[in-house]
Amino acid sequence: MKAQAKIIKISALAVAISSCGVINLANADEAIERDPILSIGDVIVVHGERATATELSTTHWSIDEDEIRALGAQTLDQLLKNVPGLYVRTGGQGTPRVDIRGFKTRHVTFLINGVPANGAEDGQFDPSVIPSSQIASVEVSVGPTSVLYGPGGAGGVINVITKQGDNSPLLSGKLEVAADNTYNGDISAASSGDNWQSLISVSHQQTDGFLLSGDYPDNENQQGDIRNNSDKSVDNIYAQGSYWLSEETQITANMSFRSGEWGKPSRDGTSSGSIKFERVDDYQSQTFQLGMAHRFGDMFIFRGFGYHNQSDVVENQYTNEQYNTLKQSQDGRSTVQGANLQLISDFSESGSLTTAFIAENQSWTSASESYSKNKSIHPAPLAAPAYVTGKGGGSGGGSGGGNEAFDDSAWLYTLAGEYQYQSDGDYGVTLGAAYHDQDRKSVAESDYSGQVSGYWRLFEHTKLNAGIAKKVRFPSMRNLYAQSSGNADLVAEKSQHFELGLVQGIGGDTELNIAGYYTDAENYIAKDTSGVYQNMGRYQFKGVDLSLNNQSIDALSVTLAYSFLDTEDKDAQDGMDTLEYRPRHQFRLQADYQLPFSMRINMNLERIMGQVYYAQKKANGNKLWLEQSLADYTLLDLNLTQVVMDDKLELYLRATNLLDENYYQSEAIPQAGRQLFVGINWQI
């Protein structure tokens, strides 16, 4: 009942706020067409309706609003797992991470409407706190991506484009329920006029924990149907708007507020690894973005935005599974703020030149406290949550065993230029170069990146593309200064990327998209066997991403995708040259069918194979690191949607892991079994 009351309160708040500004409403069909080159949400220059030379020259995947609705996904991580070459994995931190072509989440540039959203502490992001109800589309670029995104992005670039008021319903919402006090709800309100548009969206997600597979065997550390410490609660408020001062000038603004708490399910005791009792007991995040675009005559365009992203996280480690005695607590703040300014020279048929200057300040402050005599937390009253927020709360006999404060920051500067040229459709090229400089308190480091890519349409249904790039990623605050694992002597990672792709129409409304790639990474930053970050030397990634899409049958779309990845640590000792937790084979089958009586069926089947990890074993009295294999697994998701009341109302039934597979994505950390959700979508 508490969750239902909270959703009702949030819904009322959204309606109240939106009703103040709902005037001169414009439907999507009446929206005025604007020059897309003034769209700040696209970092790459867009001309008209056609794809850019940069997009056509590299591997690019797009998930539009219709596909988002068909999948029934509730959060960004659930959407991304359907993209070829991407692997969404949940490990010991309890947060979904997005790996691309062997690179980790910290190597992925994450943008919201073109604005950087990676954290300053570790360069990562949490896709599970971004509800799909706020997303209009997701653009994923991999391989030799543009230099205009700044440093990093060795894995790729993910740009989330949020919904806007001029192409959204006046009021819309969703409510979804499942077992174990699981609720996902949201409500959005949109409005627009001749020269403006706005949208506000409020969402809430909550669960007492996810169910394990029926095949999971209970043990001393994990008993019962619900995964220990897997509860989660997140609230999200998002608002955006734009105003056209004239046909040549646009201003935009976005802001979001997120809050929540969740557990970090630890190992279940089936391995030699230690069991930890950790929680995020308080999460607060806020984002502000302000942008402007202006056209000076027919040739020059200025675009720019400033941003401030801040997250405050209280992470606690406890001594037992009752979570009533503190062992260690950390209260940290990650802040990323900066500006990106672009001057575009539009040469019409001769292409365009974009020059950009990016200045960004990254800071991380934290206060940690360890307890030599563990701090006891008295149980809260039954009507209150079972977990304690923050470091204090209750009395206890604990005494501080050690305090540590951290406060550091770095400035990151980028000067970049990119030239794009496209013929009438037969070919196009992109040339880019950038200089990057990171100024830390103790040292400064600089390097450059570059990119050359192109495409050629040999025939009407045949397109070849190729690209090469050099990329640079500077170490994050956690890499440099974390209490037990930091290394202030780290230097920037460097990677070289090569890609060759083919898009081929093969008749019968069938299209083949295949890309082969080779990546060489030097000074790759990862933890050594003692848990300290090091420049690990040279990693190599080789692979193929393939998708085959068929739409030969009316109302039926079928996609078969396969990704192959071969990894190698060139400097590793014998027997440890394959990199951990990178699937060698990923198979996906996706089908979407629209039945005559307005029912839609969406099916996603995936097979993950060939993951290894390393565990310490005793052999002849010595401790050795030996390669182990995770079991291959198969997941089936199904979403059934029935439209009623002239598309104003949808009822749906969603099932994840329908086969109830007992599977692992990390050593001794079991994942969710079968889950069934019942929901309703509505709009006015």
For 445-463, the pLDDT digits (tens) are 999 999 999 999 999 899 9
User: Across all residues in the chain, what is the average pLDDT?
Assistant: 87
Q: CA dihedral defined by 264, 269, 270, 274, rounded to 10 degrees?
A: 80
Segment 415-435 mean pLDDT:
92
Which of 308, 365, 262 lies closest to 112, judged by CA? 308
- For Cα atoms 45, 51, 56, give the angle at the middle one, nearest 5 degrees: 100
Domain ranges of the chain: 2-683
Give pLDDT tens digits for 311-323: 999 999 999 888 9
The rounded distance, in Å, linking the Cα atoms of 432 and 415 is 11
**pTM confidence score:** 0.89
In single-letter form, the type of residue at position 380 comes to A
| DSSP category for residue 350 | G
CA distance readout (Å), 403 to 208, 318, 377, 394, 654: 33, 16, 19, 20, 47
The rounded distance, in Å, linking the Cα atoms of 527 and 230 is 26
Q: What is the pLDDT of residue 401?
A: 53
Segment 525-529 mean pLDDT:
85
Q: What is the pLDDT of residue 306?
A: 95
Q: How many CB atoms lie within 10 A of CB 159?
A: 23
- For Cα atoms 302, 120, 58, give the angle at the middle one, nearest 5 degrees: 55
674: exposed, middle or buried (Cβ count in 10 Å: 0-12, 13-18, 19+):
middle
The rounded distance, in Å, linking the Cα atoms of 158 and 512 is 23
Share of the chain above pLDDT 70, in %: 89
Q: What is the pLDDT of residue 376?
A: 58
pLDDT reading at 398 higher than 90: no
> Of the ranges 285-294, 372-381, 525-534, which is most confident?
285-294
The rounded distance, in Å, linking the Cα atoms of 494 and 448 is 10
Give, in words, the CATH class of 2-683. Answer: mainly beta
Share of the chain above pLDDT 90, in %: 64
Q: What is the pLDDT of residue 171?
A: 95
Q: How many CB atoms lie within 10 A of CB 382?
A: 6
The rounded distance, in Å, linking the Cα atoms of 454 and 467 is 6
pLDDT reading at 656 higher than 70: yes
pLDDT reading at 379 higher than 70: no
Q: What is the pLDDT of residue 5?
A: 45
Q: What is the pLDDT of residue 432?
A: 96
The rounded distance, in Å, linking the Cα atoms of 183 and 12 is 17
Segment 548-560 mean pLDDT:
94
pLDDT reading at 497 higher than 90: yes
